[in-house]
Chains A and B, each alone.
Chain A
């Protein structure tokens, strides 16, 4: 494979079939980190790529209002009121008020049409690191968290990203923190006087903040540390469907991304892993700042970054170099990413590609139109699968109900007969239904396919479809072998 394509495969999403090639690849990768990231997509399958309309990218307040409306209509449906108890009304409610399909399609469009491919790969890494699963009540929030919590914060400090995602309503809802109250909070005291009221701590987010998002179990924290982290978090977040007046009353504001319920907070200072954390709202920032620069966090996440971008088994020198940049720059993500990508380019090792990444690369290289336009996001099509279904079949979706540890980077997790069969079938489906714009031989010439790959493609015979499948499922295009 030509050097430019090798680098794009490893660090990006491949150059689209009609995209001009940069001359200085190393410089290109660094520039990519500064690229603008508008959401580019298509209105329908015959239109050209343009920016997504603003009205399909609502802010948090609007998202919350939609969720509130959804629940209200659903309640009417249950009670048989207001003509809501029929299938048409149920569907209309989902289309009007749930954003999962829209957000997921936008994410796909970004990856298929975006000119910011390296940033998008980093975005996928971090969105996976800070997994927010789709537990239905997070339907309207995951897309926002990826856009505003991850993509918008890729060039800031890790501490900012950690604090931002921890306080994002999506995370606070997914890991149950919106319901967690300090054991000695005013809320709990009130509650304990009544029979039908429960209020107390829920340690779900506190545990994963330490285990998955920052220091990892290697840090050797104990159950008390988890409990204390949960206490620091108590009070953060509010039910996304809460009405505006009540939200103002509980949090003193109307910003879902800064919602802290004072009456639910645990009074007093806390100690997490030896660090004393002050009482009150500011305690969380103090905690996430402490965790963001903890030596175990640096080791855990630097290693994870190296494994994602550089090699399935990065060397200790590579990990060490990234850790050093982390310390030297106080966790500046732009500097850290630059180092990781430099090392990825310098390393001759191949990197096995996630199914999702591979699919985007196949679509970009071939110029296929495999996904609907935003105007068509609710339409049924004989040819095009719904986005949601595509990723379900692929076994990888940021919008699935999944565990907070995210998807693995270990090829062993992905190389099974069944997962491979999915790739064969998607290559097939993209060829059959995707209006592929470049022939297999053209694609091979453009990327500089290896002789082994050419041999493989030739071996399957004259069928253009089989040749396409063979190319896309070759070791070279799957990131399995050096060529």
Chain B
């Protein structure tokens, strides 16, 4: 774990003009609905941040990873570019509605997917130390519930009894179970399971049909959040970022497995934008991945597990588009353990800032109660001020 040195943090403004969209004050949340919504896109497998937001101004980039760097990147400023798959995200950047935080990670350096995924969702001090998730605990503290758009209940949302997951069923020969039947069956179960089962009864009221692709789910989530009594958090999982092989197609770094998955992320963000409507103004969407990937390509036009990556942020709650980074450099000596991008910003701080902005919780409370680390640096101003 490298020492964090946020004093050296340099804020690199995006090339395009930035607009201040949200006028809502972030006063301490007292009662009623929190000031905004928080929407997490989990990028499962470990996303290559150096390909998603290539540091084109870094003198070492092309000598080390020419084969992996997209040719038609969109320049964000003198130093950073954006992968061509992130088309909608690029438009948001231009309008001041999106930012990136680079060379960042949860403080986890052992490169196991399953430990890393557990840590970024649990938000504890070590993998498997938490039975609830950081977002679930945040919602509990804010006194509100969240909803996950997946078939199982992801760890990140656990911790609040009313948290809910949703994934439209399509089972031939079955209908939405009748609410009274569900309630009767729930009565036959032990109390904590009965509570879970009773949520099915609540859902039975509405016959919801949405397509199953991630973008449509995001749109659905956005619409739900936009409602007056809707949830204030959502989680969408996008898989297959574990690009050990064929991360890019032979001879075309604009396409390949990573390009395909980044396009899905772009669609999800676009789906959120459509669904949220006016609620966009107070929303934040943030990506979360267990680690970045090796700086150099491996032997199979892919990358192996690494450390620092990039976080993508979108939403009207951002006052301006920025690339926030304390750039560590890509030279061999700058790399973490001579192979990975070093992380210089603790991504937990970014999550904390998003919680502070959207759920109206105090940073010190977030640091100590949610992430169990009282001295977690506050990066709120770098992103939201």
Contact = CB atoms under 8 A, between A and B. Distances in A.
Interface residues of A, number: 62
Interface of A: 175-176, 179-181, 183, 188, 196, 198-204, 207, 211-212, 217, 223, 382-385, 389, 393, 395, 401, 403, 405, 412-422, 424-426, 428-429, 432-433, 452-453, 455-456, 459-460, 466, 469-470, 473-475, 480-481
B172 interface: yes
A405 to B, nearest CB: 5
B115 interface: yes
Contacts of A425: 169, 171, 174-175, 177
Given A412-B158, A460-B181, A179 B153 contact: no
Given A179-B299, A415-B196, A418-B167, 8 more contacts: A180-B299, A212-B114, A384-B172, A428-B171, A428-B173, A428-B174, A459-B184, A460-B181
Contact of B301 (A198, A426, A475): A198
A420 B190 contact: no
Given A181-B299, A422-B171, A456-B188, A217 B245 contact: no
B152 A414 contact: yes
A383 B152 contact: no
A459 B189 CA distance: 13
Interface of B: 44-45, 67, 110-115, 131, 151-153, 158, 164-167, 169-175, 177, 181-182, 184-185, 187-190, 193, 196-197, 199-200, 203, 239-240, 242, 244-245, 250-251, 297-302, 304-305, 337
A204 B181 contact: no
Secondary structure class of chain B's binding surface, majority of residues: loop
B297 A198 contact: yes
Contacts of B302: 176, 202
B173 A383 contact: yes
Contacts of B185: 424, 456, 460, 469-470, 473-474
Contacts of A384: 172
Given A179-B245, A416-B165, A418-B167, A196 B297 contact: no
A459 B152 contact: no
Nearest to B251: A196
Contacts of B193: 415, 475, 480
A432 B174 contact: yes
A403 B44 contact: yes
Contacts, number: 174
Nearest to A187: B299
A459 B114 contact: no
A419 B189 contact: no
Contacts of A466: 181
Nearest to A474: B188
Contacts of A201: 298-299
Contacts of A200: 298-300
Contact of A470 (B169, B188, B203, B239): B188
Considering the complex of A and B, which 5 residue pairs feature the smallest CB-CB distances, nearest first?
A: A200-B299, A456-B188, A417-B199, A416-B153, A425-B174
A176 B189 contact: no
Contact of A420 (B131, B197, B251): B197
Contacts of B166: 418
A315 to B, nearest CB: 20
Given A202-B302, A426-B171, A223 B200 contact: no
A217 to B, nearest CB: 6
Contact of B172 (A180, A429, A473): A429
A202 B113 contact: no
B264 to A, nearest CB: 13
A476 B304 CA distance: 45
B152 A418 contact: yes
Given A202-B299, A425-B174, A459-B184, A217 B304 contact: no
B188 A202 contact: no
B305 A421 contact: no
Contacts of B153: 412-413, 415-416, 418-419
A459 B187 CA distance: 10
14 contacts: A204-B244, A212-B114, A223-B111, A421-B177, A421-B203, A422-B169, A424-B200, A428-B175, A428-B177, A432-B173, A470-B184, A470-B185, A475-B190, A480-B193
